[in-house]
């Protein structure tokens, strides 16, 4: 009877850990979504087009730093995930009560879950920073074009005879 209870403890702990990670992840996502756009918080403007070139360049530099940090976090989570999956370190030399209850497989599973959560969080942050950097570059090129800048963009043109829309490319050279 007691052996069955001890065997079910790691499964219960795994379920609890999964729920904790899921709830933490959902809270972080809702926190990021509730805070609105980054330029509203930092510069108190409602549109990114209202930022000066200096503010945009500062934001681009901050976003690149955040991208590097989130890449390091995701990479660390990935390395630890692979370590727990393939090296399977298990219980330490001086195990705690929780490690003894979980056993070797339970410790490895908890390690994989936590490091997988870190990997996913870092990846999501990296994607957000990549989107932000692309948006900032687009606004800089559109609002503050430099001379000699060649821009190719898709456009819809109206046929002069039939007034029907035709897809095409627009080529713009700033001088």
53-79 confidence digits (pLDDT tens) = 999 999 999 999 989 988 998 998 899
Domain count, the chain: 2
* Same domain, residue pair 10 and 74: yes
* CA 94/CA 82 separation, integer angstroms: 23
* Same domain, residue pair 138 and 155: no
CB 153 within 8 A of CB 169: yes
* Same domain, residue pair 93 and 155: no
* Same domain, residue pair 92 and 12: yes
Which residue segment(s) compose the domain that 159 sits in?
147-175
* Same domain, residue pair 32 and 63: yes
The CA radius of gyration of the chain, in Å to the nearest whole number, is: 25
* CA 8/CA 20 separation, integer angstroms: 18
Q: Tens-digit pLDDT profile for the chain (175 aa)?
A: 445 554 555 556 556 666 766 776 666 666 555 445 778 888 888 888 899 999 999 999 999 998 998 899 899 889 989 988 898 887 777 777 887 888 888 888 888 998 898 899 889 889 989 989 999 998 998 888 877 777 788 888 888 788 888 888 888 887 7
* Same domain, residue pair 83 and 169: no
């Amino acid at each position: 009877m007691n052996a069955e209870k001890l065997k079910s403890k790691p499964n219960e702990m795994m379920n609890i850990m999964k729920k904790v990670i899921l709830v933490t992840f959902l809270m972080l996502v809702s926190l990021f979504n509730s805070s609105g756009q980054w330029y509203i918080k930092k510069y108190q403007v409602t549109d990114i087009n209202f930022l000066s070139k200096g503010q945009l360049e500062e934001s681009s530099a901050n976003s690149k730093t955040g991208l590097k940090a989130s890449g390091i976090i995701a990479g660390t989570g990935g390395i630890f995930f692979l370590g727990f999956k393939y090296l399977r370190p298990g219980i330490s030399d001086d195990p705690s009560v929780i490690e003894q209850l979980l056993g070797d497989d339970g410790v490895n599973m908890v390690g994989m879950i936590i490091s997988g959560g870190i990997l996913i969080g870092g990846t999501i942050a990296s994607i957000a920073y990549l989107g932000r950097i692309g948006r900032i570059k687009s606004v800089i090129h559109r609002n503050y074009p430099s001379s000699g800048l060649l821009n190719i963009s898709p456009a819809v043109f109206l046929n002069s005879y039939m007034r029907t829309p035709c897809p095409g490319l627009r080529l713009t050279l700033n001088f």
